[in-house]
Each structure stands twice: as C-alpha cells, then as structure tokens.
Amino acid sequence: MATLFKELAELCESLEKLTERIPKISMISAFLRKLHKEEIAPATRLIIGKIFPDWSSYTLDVSWGTIVKIIQDITRASPRELLDAFNRTGDPGAMVEILMKSKKILRQATLFEEPLTILNVYQTLESIAKIKGSGSRERKEAVIKSLLSRASPIEAKYLVKVILGEMRHGVSEGLMEEAIAKAADVSLELVERAHMFLGDIGEVAYIALVEGAKGLEKVSLQLFRPLKPMLAQQAENVQEALKEHGGRSAFEYKFDGARVQIHMKESEVKIFSRRLTDVTKSLPDVVELVRRELRAREVVVEGEVIAIGENGKPLPFQHLMRRFRRIRDIYRMVREIPVKLYLFDILYLDGELLIDKPYVERREILAKIAGNIPLTPRVITDDPKEAEKFLEKAIREGHEGLMAKKLDSKYTPGIRGKLWLKIKPVLTTLDLVIVAAEWGYGRRKNWLSDYYLAARDEKTGEFLIVGKTFKGLTDEEFEEMTKRLLNLKIGEKGRVVYVQPKIVVEVAFNEIQKSPKYKSGYALRFARIIKIRDDKGPEEANTIQEIEELYKKQFLAKAKKEKL
C-alpha cells in the first residue's frame, strides 16, 4: 500500500518540535526504512523541502502571490484574516494550516476523494514544473489549487512549505545524510561521498537503502552533473592562515567575481555557477575559450569569472551578475560586459578523479592543461611579510583579498573547513538574507529601502533578524530590489512588507552587539550592504552560531585592550 503524504507531513511536524539532532536522525531513519523503494527518493527530497536536485533545470516558478490567491479561493479568507494568520506564526505554511482549519465547511466536498500519497504529490509537483508556454501561470495555478483542495490542513501546511522552499524544521542535508546512513546501516562516509558526486540526496537515499554499501561504492563523478564547491572559512589575517596551515600556505588572489565549475567532454562544454545552476548560455565567450584552450578530452575544472572594464581592471560584482542573469540578447551583453576567466582547480581529467590528490599536485596538473587560460595569481610562502605584500598587491589591482590553501589539502566538495581560508582586509562582512523591508521616506518613498537582515539558525533552519539597514544600494538597485521583494511578498503590516527569505546580501558592519530587541540575541552596528549576492542561496547565508563566534572573538579582543 502506498505511503500517505499525511504521514510525511506528520513526520515533519514532529521534527519541527524537536531540537536535538540524534532523535531527529532516528525518527527520519525509521520513516525511510518503511517506504517502498519507488517512494524513497521523492520522500527524502520532500522531507528537506526540495523537489529537484540543485543542479536540475526544473523549477516550480510559483510565487507567494499565486499561493495567496489559491488559499483565498479555497478558504474564502479575507486579506485581513490572511495577514492575522501570518502574523500569529510568521510562517507561510502555518498560516495556511490555520486558515484551512478555520474553514472546514468549505472542504466537505473533498472528503470522498482518494487521499494524497507521497508519490502522487511528488508527481504532481513535477508536472507543474513541466508546464511551459502561453497560459502556463493559469494552468499551474489550477493544478496547485486542485492539490491543495484535496489536502488536510497539516498536508496543506507542508505542501506550501515545499512549494515555497520554506521548510523550517532544522533538517539539513548533513542531518539527512546521517539519517540515510543509519537507515541503510552503511557508513556516513560512503553516504557523504555518494552525495558529493551525485548532488541529489534522494538518489543517494535510494541507492543506500536498495543497493547498500556496494551500490554506494560504485558511485563516482558524472560529467555534466556538478559537484558542490569546496568552501572556505574566514581568517582575520595572513598570520592566522599561516598558523592554521602549519606555517606555510599557498596564497591566491580572491576575485570579486563569480565562481564557476566547467565540465568538458570533447567539444561539449557546460558551465555551472556556485549554486550548481547551468549558466552556459550566458557565457558563450567562456565556452569558446574553454573549447579552444583546454588540453583535455574530458575534464572538470574550477575557476572565477570577473567582469572587466576598458582599462582591464575588474568591474564591480553587480555588472557581472547582469551577464549571469541574461538569457536573451547574449552577444550584445558579451560586448558590453566582457569577462575574463581564471582557473584555480581541477577535479577530473580524462577518466581520473583528482579530488583526493593534494592541492599542489592538482595545481600542477591544471597548469599543464590550461593552455592560454590564466591561473589565479599565487605565491607559496612561510613569510608573513611576503604574504602581506601579495595581499596589498591584490587589493591595489581591484580584487577582494586572498585565499589561503593548505598545500596538502584534498578537495572536499560541499564542506566548509579550514583547509581553505579567505582573507578580506578592512571590512568584516556577513552574508545575510532579507526577510522584510520597510517603505522609505522622502526621496525613497516609492521604494522598499530599509531591509531587515537575518542569519540562519543551524538548529532550526529559521532565519533570525540581526539588524536593519537602508545603506549601500544605488537608486537603480533600490528600484530593482523593490520589484524583486514585492514578488516575494508574504504579508504586509503598516509600512513593513514581509518576504520569503530568498535574497542574499553581503553586509559590512562595525561591531556585533548583544540585543534583547531581536530573537537572535544579536544586532549589527552600522550595517550597510556592499553587494547583492545573486550567486548565493539562502542556505549559504551565515548562521547565528557563526555570529555568536564572531561576537566572542570581538569581546575577547576588547577585554584584552581594557586591561592595558
């Protein structure tokens, strides 16, 4: 008998109430074990709030406005009732559940329909993503309305959470990997490695539970399926990096550009962003360069694309993002915003996986096959003064700072560790998510221009506010941001518009303070936006736990000064 979607919704409801990691893992693993094999991959994705793998080109493309319209049609709720329900919880899914419960009489006609199962929910969501062309919005709306009309309040709550990508029960991909390992009785290392190559937690769960350890061991890199990028932690200065790396490190320029992963098989080339999105069509000039220069039959390399001005100096990041967002009139943009590619790593070459080789060896291999494509400028040193001079040179040439890479480090996809460290002088910055905005005053009265900035809580997945700012954007950016935020609108109260947590911004600040004003317990002093990070998703935002660590470091430094 097929597993009901209500069982998955009840599992998510239970997970939302738990705070401890181990009970969550046990609960999920028990649920996975009882699924039919064809339900494993869809259920695993749905539990973490996903429908498709990150690298998939499919998206639902359904706005919050569409969901609101459907819910109002189903429940006959007034705008006031809708806003009141949202204000009670601050959660779109919970808002829908409240409205559905209060409007039971309108749902009596659906009582005799077949109950929703995991498979028919998943297949319906897949079908929505495939609706294209004229009238697609209306057709998608009709399918979602039919689905939600058949749902119980708790099912509707988690359907909306999945559709909007708003699951807040603290189940990360890392926790799901542990649950899969426990359910299949295989090592976590095998699960992590398979996920690293496949980039699809659902497929990994299927292989683990159906084929076991032997199946996972067979998984390897697949061309044109991107690996999650290896990530870096922040270091305060070159001295900290050298100490962390045992006294000697490789320092590379850190560009103000977009990281790309390039896959090539003979003449076929695909380029993926750091979010694993296929951006090949936006970069035809880079595709041609790669075809012409890379001396390999099959290869996966990583690099950084920067926009350059007439003098050859780097243009601000926002110019580059115009290239990445463009899907029409590409060749005009190629002329208007030329780009330059620098390579910095190689993961695969002509049948050989290279991620387990040390960094220095990978770099040597990369140099041999790069042709005339430049590698990121680099020095290897144990001398802090030499590293400082190199940092100054990078800044002078218009770049962000340096990356420090441990000489014997393996490439660890998707993991943020200290093997790679980023060094950005002067400004302390955080990647935060906009969760609400206020209408401005005076010259800014027609723009949403005072932004509520939030960090992610690792334990719950909730985005917690750590400050507000109206500083940093140009008039053009205020106007564009207003349009984007209104498309993500969840509710409005007075001058404040609440939005889905989708847009990431890089924020500079002077200090972190304790604050009873915010649920997070912290507030940023003199926050200002320095960059809109369209290359990052909300799951990549800094966490409350990281902010807490930064606060402690800053407090210790101040305590020392006070003793002098």
Short-list 196, 195, 223, CA closest to 207:
195
Closest CA to 375 of 302, 313, 424, 314: 302
Give the Cβ contact number of residue 516 at 10 Å. Answer: 7
Beta bridge partners of 468: 452
- Decide if 128 contacts 60 (C-beta within 8 A): yes
Q: Does residue 254 carry a catalytic annotation?
A: yes
Q: Tokens standing for 16? A: 């939302």
Give SS3 for 415: coil
CB 263 within 8 A of CB 269: yes
DSSP string, 463-495: EEEEEEE--S--HHHHHHHHHHHHHTEEEEETT
Nearest to 273 by CA among 226, 216, 235: 226
Q: What's the token pair of residue 194?
A: 């398979």
3-state secondary structure of 541: coil
Q: How far apart are CA 404 and CA 380, in angstroms?
A: 9
Largest CA distance in the chain: 77
Sheet holding 268-273, edge to edge: 268-273, 258-265, 298-307, 339-349, 352-353
In terms of phi and psi (left: phi > 0; alpha: psi -120 to 50; beta: otherwise), the region of 339 is beta
Strand 231-235 with 416-423, pairing:
parallel
Give the pair of three-digit tokens for residue 63: 């706005």
Spatial separation of the C-alpha atoms in residues 365 and 379, rounded to whole Å: 17
Question: Which phi and psi angles does 512 have, rounded to 5°?
Answer: -105, 130
The answer to whether the CB of 384 falls within 8 A of the CB of 402 is no
Cα–Cα distance measured from residue 105 to residue 151, given in angstroms and rounded to the nearest whole number: 14
Contact by Cβ (8 Å): 435, 90: no
| Residue 375 DSSP code | B
Query: In this structure, are strands 496-499 and 428-439 parallel, antiparallel, or unpaired?
Result: antiparallel
First to last CA, the chain: 72
Q: Which of 161, 254, 357, 531 is catalytic?
A: 254
DSSP helix/strand/coil, 307: strand
Whether 327 contacts 282, CB under 8 Å: yes
Q: Which positions are annotated as active-site residues?
A: 254
